[in-house]
Structure 1
Amino acid sequence: MSKKEFQKPPGPKAETTPEPTHSGDAATHAEKPAAGLAFPPPKQAPKRPKWSASRRVLLTGGLATVGLAAAGAEAARSVLDSRNITALATLPPPPEGPTQLNIVAHPDDDLFFINPRLLWAAREGTNLINVCLTAGEANGRNGPDAPTTPDFAGYAAARCLGLRRAWASMIAEDADHPWDRYSIELESGQQVELCTLRDHPGIHMIFVSMWTDLGKVWGGKQRLMGLWERELDAQHVLHASDTAIAHGGKYTREDLHLMLLHFLQHYQPTSVALLDADPDWTDQRKGADQSGYSDHIDHTAAALFGWNAVREWGGRASVESYRGYYNRRWPRNLSQINRVAKGRPLDVYSFLERGECDMDFGCGDLKVTTLGTGAGYGASTHPRHSSGLALVRGKEGVPTPVAVRGMRLSLRQGQEWKPVAGAAVLPSLTVTGRHVFATAPEYRASRHRQRRDIMHYAVDEDQWTNLRNLSSQGNDSRHGGTPAAVELPDGTFVVAVRCPDLRLAVRTRNENGTWAAWTRLSGDMVQPDIAAVINPQGEPEFYGAAADDLVVWRRRGGEWHFERLGLGAHASAPAALWLPGERLVVAAREPETGAVLAHTLDHDQWSSCRLDFDGGVMAPVLASNAEGTIVVTTDNDQGVTAVALTDAEGLQRNAQAVWSIGGPVLVRQPQPWFDGEGRLHLLALGVDGELMSAHQETPSRVMPQQWSVYDTPELSGS
């Protein structure tokens, strides 16, 4: 189809209420909530007193600006010496125990896009390693009252200091808790700054401190994406005024790749957190959005470098990507409790307390002028790959857990994972019967050669089939999401995935095993994850979350039909479940509360039930047994498993279910299943890398309480 024949529709509009200004934005955003979503207007921070530029290093002009080792670091030597920097020839030994390693672009990406999951992991006792690739110097002006002459080194130092204080407030509950700071010599000759939180040896920050955009000095575009796309030979290091990096340097594409690979090999994380390599497409650019995508171009580049390093590393960590700026284009998913938990360290980062500050460059990022998370992208935290734990139908009635560890599909056998040879895939999975569907990415330098192919793995045959996607390669291939699939009673398969215009595309495998071509379906733009079910007539249905409603694509007599359900906006992907008696349940998160909304369709009439609790950030999962018991699983506001048992009658009466909370801090949606006797079993994959399980002793409404490391249960199942 030619470009003239197919024009992309407008993407979801950005909101326009005030939100915190992120590193790439030159001015505070002015956003307002989407129609129908109530949200209190954010309070503006008190106006800060102006501060002077005395002893500040003002950086202007060509090559001299790059020589910050002489200009910036030396001029601030008294400040640097007072911080007691220690030089090390190599990284110190890694901390013991479960470890999460984050790779971000700017000092604050972790606070805006990954938190509150950082806080949840830290409370679990997980070590946190935060690798920040750029200095985040932006326009060199720290806030609206800063001098007009840019001070790139000073603003970068203020942001790094603000980030250290924010993490100290989260972990040590004291923003001024001291850090120990080191300059680390890499084998390639570059130096990075390592900061460890004193008395908390598992909390590390690594500042690589490349220029965010050296084009501000030299002209042109000289960003991290240029390094990824091989349009830039190398990116120079910016020496922040308070840096521990003692000498200059620059990074080639290979240098940066090998450095990230070294960090992964050194720390051997059980969990890796990245930004989003494939942000949502938009034609309505706002703030620091890149052309064609609703996210900062540095976020995308950092994610591409991160995924590429993870793939070569070959470790077995659970890897997650987090949405960036396009959080503001979909309903907000954080509850009030989680907005407060996420907002507190952001306030510390931006130095909103207006206390004493002995740093001329400032004690935080004064560009951020809104209290807390604001009402834009900070008011959501969206992991892209929550559906990375699934269940394959077992030959003897007990389902087999399946997950992606690193980028390798793995099947659980007893207490061990068995990796599947073949495709390297993203963590999002869908399973139907004994067939697994996932996405295999090719992260190539040229944006025109990017690939995201849908892969089908047949467990019994131990065989992969590449189903490609609607767009063979290039930018359009990046707009998909998690595939969803069903195996129909006649033995055919139907797989669906979001297509380049963010609607839906389907592909069918016939009884003889041949796959038909991809077919584009009309309808609304939806979020990346969709739910697949088979209706009582034996036909496939796919449910998605549009910006303002839940929607469905149904096949009837070989023809596809699209319908808006009229259930309003939801803040997560939906789950769907057909029950005996031709009753349908569709559930998803309620915007801004964390509660689960469960809608029941009975004789063409919808009824809705609000399952209220302090919820987290993952979409719900539904399952039922032969007796009609329905289980809803998701995460709570501490990131652990939340389970509710109900039935269709209870949902239709709007009866409140009792939630049970337990298990590890999650990295994937918890998976429920019922055995042949109707007993509930729960599976949870933790940030520590362990697969945990709990089960009922007898069928009842009593929740499983005892969690242990998973081993294949010896019982008959469903």
Structure 2
Amino acid sequence: MPDHLEWVEPVLALARRAARLPRGARTPFAPVGRPRSMAVMAHQDDDLYFLNPLLVSQLHSSEEHLTVCLTAGEGDGRNAPGGTREHAAAPVDFEAFAAARFNGLRCAYADMVLGDRDAKWRREVTTLAGGAEADVSVLVDAPHVRLVALNLWCAPPPDAAPGSGPLTRLWTGEATSTPTMVPLGSPVTGTHSYSRDSLVESLVELMRRFEPTLLWTMDPDPDLQVHDRANPRYADTGDYSDHIFHTITGLFAHEAAARWFAEGGGRRTSVEAFRGYYVRRWPSNLSPEARARKQRYKDVYGWADRRPSGDPAGLGDRKVGGDLIAGGNASGTTLRYPGSRSWAGPGADGRLSAFAVRGGQVVHWREDRPGEFAGSRRVPGRKLLPHVDAVPTADGGWRLFAVRQGLTADPAQHVRDLWTILLPASGDYRDVRWESLGNPNAQSGPAKRRNIGMPQAVSLPGGRLLVLTRNAGKGLSGRLHDGATWTPWRDLGGGDTQEGLTAVALDDGSVEVLAAGRNGIARWLVSTAGELTAKFSVVRTEAPAGPPTVVRLPDGSRMMFCRCRDSASVVSFRTRGDGQVWDPSSLVDLGGHGGPGPIAARFVPDRREVLVAVRDDASATSVLRVGPDGRARGTWLREATPVAGSHAVSVDSSGRPVVLAVSAGGGLLTLPVTPSTSSVSSMKEVP
């Protein structure tokens, strides 16, 4: 790969061309930080299965994009549909099948970026740690797009050096090295063996050269999954809901990112991890249009059209060509850490603060005059996962909650603990320190300790505070702070829910907690009087396609929003009568533009309406105003700047409603919304 300076001309060339934006969206002004996106995948099709439709939108928004594929994906070496006579008769040629898969990936990227699957690529070689050569593909007519193939064998051949093993054993140290292959037609001149450290260092080197502001990885901590007749194993590994190579690739990528961040890199970098085969276990969160786009590019990769090829390896992976994604492994696009909706809000003085994790560290933006934010400040503390929940304190400070990730080769030594920090109103962070709240699964085995959910905190009368998280049993756990000390973790029951909690304090002192369940909306009514207890029930609705969001209305009733399965729509429904019972018959289909992650919503008293914001199929911002009856006021408005994580909706110090997000370039985006808004201006961005 050329040195970083040689990438400047492709960047400038991209800046001169018009970006392709969602229908009806306005062109944003140049962002404060130009987005550079990087994805680290295990196999040649993982990004097409698990990142799209966000990937195709990001390719048109990023000024540079780099996808890194760790393995050669050689499989059984036969490029023919499994279970067919053709497959049985096909010769085994691992190097040719690996080449066919990369050919298919290049065709898919060319189609996503240029609409021409046969567009030309330039092949190069770059040298990484220990002298390893990697195969680099540059899209000639869009040179901001590059693919890097490390070509590690998935299953090293019998003649591999002693101590060799697959990527999974390389991570744990059970293997001392994993060899590479040279796929058919590759410009790489020879093979190499990666050690665990040299593979991590090679990824760090790519991050140093490329300097991504948005890093996409695979899921390092997939959910545990029961496999039985009702839940076939498919391609899952062990007791998990994903393929082990996806998991190990996620761990390598996160370890490399942590090293890069520790040496001072990635100060504007947002990290997002994507679920793998887990998505087939839950309702699809994609619209029919988004699934069709995902199907199209997957079919290009799979050489479904069987168009003539002069390449002896062929133009794609015929094992998947033409397969319908339907309810399978590509049916959804789901973030492992979907993001908080409570990362921004007014402090005790009425001025807005916003918090995000960039480079594994929390950054803080603060409103210095109505609607205007000062540049970000860094909060001490590292190795945090991309989620922060913020609660204002009565004295003008903030209490933050996040999860710290500690990675080791030994699976029993992984750390995923909930941490909290108290930020003083003075803004002097020199002596502040994070405090560990431990893990609700601390007494369980290592696998369960890794499956901690992201925190949701709720302020209670008398200065008390309740923090909640999904536990390894996919139920709810909580700790209560009485103003001085924390109670022990308490298992509050429930189970079979997706990641992403929403909670609201009720007039009687209890807290209502909601999550997406298998057969509807999981609901806990948590009593905070004395020892924490909870009543668990399920609101019988169609299973939602993602985390719900609850909003309290002035009369004490509540409104819930969630994504409708197999649809682009957001739906609302309300409580009935005294507010104790949810009424599924009040459901209103609000339409929308699809997308992953949680829904942000807030009641705006001056306007007697709820303002709703979501990350849509284009990884952009969609906004809707909703009346107290749950019905839309006007249509969805879209703003095209690509975002990372989730939105927040709040009110600035002048009382004006505002939508907030973090851009793919790492800046804070703000969008004021007025009652007469029929279109939206570009979001302001603050570094």
Return the TM-score normalized by structure 2.
Answer: 0.86
Q: Hey, what does 1:23 align to over in structure 2?
A: none
- How far, CA to CA, are the matches of 1:231 and 1:388 in structure 2? 37
- How far, CA to CA, are the matches of 1:677 and 1:632 in structure 2? 20
Q: Hey, what does 1:634 align to over in structure 2?
A: 614
Residues 165-564 of structure 1: pairs in structure 2 closer than 5 A: 165-214=107-156, 222-284=165-227, 286-314=233-261, 315-316=266-267, 317-371=269-323, 373-387=325-339, 390-413=343-366, 414-433=373-392, 434-460=398-424, 462-472=432-442, 474-511=446-483, 513-556=484-527, 557-558=529-530, 559-564=533-538
- How far, CA to CA, are the matches of 1:282 and 1:694 in structure 2? 40
8 Å Cα contact 2:474-2:494 kept in structure 1? no
Q: Would the alpha carbon gap of residues 404 and 383 (structure 1) be closer, same or farther in structure 2, given more than 3 Å must change?
A: same
Q: Would the alpha carbon gap of residues 663 and 679 (structure 1) be closer, same or farther in structure 2, given more than 3 Å must change?
A: farther
Give secondary structure in 1 for the equivalent of 2:462. Answer: coil
Q: Would the alpha carbon gap of residues 667 and 572 (structure 1) be closer, same or farther in structure 2, given more than 3 Å must change?
A: same
Q: Would the alpha carbon gap of residues 544 and 397 (structure 1) be closer, same or farther in structure 2, given more than 3 Å must change?
A: same
List runs of 5+ in structure 1 lacking aligned partners. 1-87, 713-718
Q: Which moved more, 1:547-556 or 1:94-103?
A: 94-103
- How far, CA to CA, are the matches of 1:381 and 1:359 in structure 2? 32
- How far, CA to CA, are the matches of 2:364 and 2:187 in structure 1? 45
Q: In the TM superposition, what whole-angstrom CA distance separates every residue of 1:286-339 from its partner, at most 9, and x where no partner exists?
A: 122111111111111111010111111111201100000010001111101111
Q: Hey, what does 1:42 align to over in structure 2?
A: none
Asked if 1:110 corresponds to 2:40, the answer is no
- How far, CA to CA, are the matches of 1:229 and 1:381 in structure 2? 29
- Select the residue among 85, 88, 92 that pairs with 1:150: 92
Q: Hey, what does 2:56 align to over in structure 1?
A: 119
Q: Would the alpha carbon gap of residues 403 and 350 (structure 1) be closer, same or farther in structure 2, given more than 3 Å must change?
A: same
8 Å Cα contact 1:288-1:296 kept in structure 2? yes
8 Å Cα contact 1:126-1:688 kept in structure 2? no
- How far, CA to CA, are the matches of 2:640 and 2:295 in structure 1? 26
Give secondary structure in 2 for the equivalent of 1:259. Answer: helix
How far has the Cα of 1:636 moved from its partner?
A: 2.7
8 Å Cα contact 1:178-1:197 kept in structure 2? yes
Q: Which moved more, 1:121-130 or 1:151-160?
A: 121-130
8 Å Cα contact 2:340-2:456 kept in structure 1? no
Q: Work out the percentage of aligned pairs sharing the same amino acid.
A: 28
- How far, CA to CA, are the matches of 2:249 and 2:582 in structure 1? 47
Q: Hey, what does 2:30 align to over in structure 1?
A: none
Q: Would the alpha carbon gap of residues 669 and 189 (structure 1) be closer, same or farther in structure 2, given more than 3 Å must change?
A: same
How far has the Cα of 1:399 moved from its partner?
A: 1.5
Taking only aligned residues, the RMSD between alpha carbons, in angstroms, comes to: 2.2
Q: Hey, what does 1:84 align to over in structure 2?
A: none
Q: Which moved more, 1:628-637 or 1:172-181?
A: 628-637
Q: In the TM superposition, what whole-angstrom CA distance separates every residue of 1:347-373 from its partner, at most 9, and x where no partner exists?
A: 110001111022332210000043453
8 Å Cα contact 2:418-2:438 kept in structure 1? yes
Q: Would the alpha carbon gap of residues 496 and 245 (structure 1) be closer, same or farther in structure 2, given more than 3 Å must change?
A: same
Q: Hey, what does 1:94 align to over in structure 2?
A: 7
Asked if 1:615 corresponds to 2:594, the answer is yes
How far has the Cα of 1:112 moved from its partner?
A: 0.6
Give secondary structure in 2 for the equivalent of 1:188. Answer: helix
- How far, CA to CA, are the matches of 2:381 and 2:492 in structure 1? 31
- How far, CA to CA, are the matches of 2:159 and 2:286 in structure 1? 39
- How far, CA to CA, are the matches of 1:614 and 1:348 in structure 2? 25
Q: Would the alpha carbon gap of residues 197 and 579 (structure 1) be closer, same or farther in structure 2, given more than 3 Å must change?
A: same
Amino acid at match of 1:615: G
List runs of 5+ in structure 2 lacking aligned partners. 12-33, 367-372, 393-397
- How far, CA to CA, are the matches of 2:408 and 2:634 in structure 1? 48
Q: Hey, what does 1:140 align to over in structure 2?
A: 77
Q: In the TM superposition, what whole-angstrom CA distance separates every residue of 1:499-552 from its partner, at most 9, and x where no partner exists?
A: 1211111111123x2111111122121111111211122322211111221011
8 Å Cα contact 1:505-1:521 kept in structure 2? yes
- How far, CA to CA, are the matches of 2:500 and 2:616 in structure 1? 20
- How far, CA to CA, are the matches of 2:479 and 2:663 in structure 1? 34
Q: Hey, what does 1:601 align to over in structure 2?
A: 575
Q: In the TM superposition, what whole-angstrom CA distance separates every residue of 1:431-487 from its partner, at most 9, and x where no partner exists?
A: 222221111011111111111000112122833110011223721111122111111
- How far, CA to CA, are the matches of 1:117 and 1:343 in structure 2? 14
How many matched pairs? 619
How far has the Cα of 1:492 moved from its partner?
A: 1.2
8 Å Cα contact 2:473-2:496 kept in structure 1? yes
Asked if 1:584 corresponds to 2:558, the answer is yes
Q: In the TM superposition, what whole-angstrom CA distance separates every residue of 1:372-412 from its partner, at most 9, and x where no partner exists?
A: 53321211011223426721532421221110002101101
Amino acid at match of 1:641: T
Give secondary structure in 1 for the equivalent of 2:547. Answer: coil
How far has the Cα of 1:578 moved from its partner?
A: 1.4
Amino acid at match of 2:538: R
- Any runs of at least 4 consecutive aligned residues in structure 1 with deviations exceeding 4 A, and if so which? 88-92, 215-221, 654-657
Q: Which moved more, 1:679-688 or 1:261-270?
A: 679-688
How far has the Cα of 1:635 moved from its partner?
A: 2.3
Asked if 1:645 corresponds to 2:625, the answer is yes
Q: In the TM superposition, what whole-angstrom CA distance separates every residue of 1:537-572 from its partner, at most 9, and x where no partner exists?
A: 232221111122101111235531111111220001
